[in-house]
């Protein structure tokens, strides 16, 4: 049985998320721009985004979830929103001709617990 780890919220967190297999999905202006649009879409409604950095195969966020939204839910909005919009707006197709799951591409390698910064 997996121990209950609780939920994270009501604080400021440093998050690092990598793309699936460290692929350079965010290298193009188009994909990085889409991630920026998704980040700004939920800003001030679901979380406060203090700072962010987008690298070719990962990104960093300094984020404060806005209650009652948890950190996990905030990341779900970001990853799921990016996945949905990438398939819809950028018409991402895999080798099979079927849409690529960019949610899988953001299979979180988040260090949520690794770099927790509490707000004062």
Tell me the C-alpha distance between 102 and 35, whole Å: 11
The alpha carbon torsion through 7, 8, 14, 20 (nearest 10 deg) reads 20
Q: pLDDT tens digit string along 66-119?
A: 988 889 999 999 999 998 888 887 765 454 445 444 444 444 333 333 334 444
For position 104, what pLDDT does the model report? Answer: 46
Tell me the C-alpha distance between 9 and 6, whole Å: 10
Q: Region 35-59: what's the mean pLDDT?
A: 93
Asked if the model's pLDDT at residue 1 lies above 70, the reply is no
Coil/strand/helix, residue 75: helix
Q: What distances in angstroms separate CA 16 from CA 32, 90, 98, one per listed residue?
A: 15, 24, 28
Q: Considering the chain, what percentage of its residues have pLDDT values greater than 70?
A: 67
Q: Name the β-bridge partners of 52.
A: 61
What is the CATH superfamily name and number for domain 12-117? Transposase IS200-like (3.30.70.1290)
């Amino acid at each position: 049985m997996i121990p209950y780890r609780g939920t994270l919220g009501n604080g400021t967190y440093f998050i690092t998320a990598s793309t699936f297999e460290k692929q350079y999905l965010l290298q193009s202006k188009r994909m990085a721009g889409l991630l920026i649009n998704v980040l700004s879409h939920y800003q001030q409604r679901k979380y406060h985004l203090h700072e962010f950095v987008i690298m070719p195969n990962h990104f960093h966020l300094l984020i404060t979830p806005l209650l009652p939204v948890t950190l996990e839910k905030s990341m779900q909005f970001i990853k799921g929103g990016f996945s949905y919009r990438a398939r819809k707006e950028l018409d991402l197709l895999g080798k099979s001709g079927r849409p690529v799951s960019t949610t899988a591409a953001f299979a979180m390698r988040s260090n949520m617990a690794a770099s927790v910064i509490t707000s004062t």
